Amino acid sequence: MKLSELKVIITGGAQGMGAHFAKRLQEGGAQVAVGDVAEAKLAELPAGIHRRRLDVSSEEDVRSFVAWAAQAMGGLNGLINNAGILRDALLVKKDKATGEVKTLSTADWAAVIGVNLTGATLMVREVVAHMARAETRGGVVVNMSSIARHGNRGQSNYVAAKAALAANTFTWAREFASFGIRVGAVAPGMIETPMTQGMNQKARDALVANIPVGRIGVPEDIWLAVKFILECDYFNGRTIDVDGGLSM
């Protein structure tokens, strides 16, 4: 599919990778609708990009947003499932000084699953349902997974969500084939974004030091993979790792 043919939703698109995708898509002639909870950042997006508050963990919000975006763009044939949060902590941790045993809170587990997995799934469901009702052929969904899907210390919640998204990329590609809709995923490694900038500095430095290409990634690195999935009509059901060769 040509970028100029796209009428695409981007979740979590107010900043970081999502904002970069939105700008690059607009440059390519696509119509873009961005949703995010960061309303102040939404206002900073370039003119011509549709934008509205969206909490992907809210089923009502998702349904309303998809209907609004389709109307604003005069149709809908794409989704980039980018919204995500971190609430990192060991599942069980013993304080070396006090001996106190602490555990990952249910709230932090639920928050990450709610946005990164349930929210992403709700978006796919509602976008694909809209395209199926409209008999839109040639639609495409891009899920943002992560290198962490293979397992990473201190990220049980994030790993669970991103692994499930990669697995369901395969599942949904088969389920949606009859609608003429493709599904692909990109699994970024360490990328320079507001989310990774908030990481523990020691952990961040250790990860960057283990990247074979010798640098942290930038949003443009991930955009190149997203663009490939959008444009290559023979790509379907797979996940592309873009991680500089990093192994966690």
How many domains is the chain partitioned into structurally?
1
Q: Looking at the domain assignment, is residue 246 inside a domain?
A: no
Give the count of beta carbons closer than 10 Å to the beta carbon of residue 90: 13
Q: Looking at the domain assignment, is residue 180 inside a domain?
A: yes
Please report, for residues 19, 23, 210, the alpha-carbon distance to residue 44 in angstroms, rounded to integers and kept in the order given.
10, 11, 34
Which residue among 21, 65, 158, 223 is the active-site one?
A: 158
Least confident of 181-185, 208-212, 220-224, 244-248: 244-248
The pLDDT of residue 20 is above 70: yes
Q: Which residues contact 243 (CB under 8 A, 6 or more apart)?
A: 147, 187, 188, 189, 190, 211, 217
Q: How is residue 92 written in tokens?
A: 């069980």
Q: Looking at the domain assignment, is residue 247 inside a domain?
A: no
Tell me how far apart the alpha carbons of residues 35 and 55 are, in angstroms, rounded to a whole number. 8
Q: Looking at the domain assignment, is residue 248 inside a domain?
A: no
In the three-class reduction of DSSP (H, G, I as helix; E, B as strand; rest coil), residue 34 is classed as strand
Q: Looking at the domain assignment, is residue 77 inside a domain?
A: yes
Domain span at residue 87 reads 3-241
Query: Is the Cα dihedral 207, 209, 214, 220 positive or negative?
Result: positive
**pLDDT (0 to 100) of residue 166:** 98
Task: For residue 63, give the CATH number of its domain.
Answer: 3.40.50.720
Q: Looking at the domain assignment, is residue 22 inside a domain?
A: yes
234 catalytic? Reply is no
Query: Is the Cα dihedral 170, 176, 177, 183 positive or negative?
Result: negative
Give per-residue pLDDT as tens, 21-76: 999 999 999 999 999 999 999 999 999 999 999 999 999 999 999 999 999 999 99
Give per-residue pLDDT as tens, 196-209: 777 778 877 887 88
Question: In DSSP terms, which residues pair with 9 in a beta bridge?
Answer: 33, 79
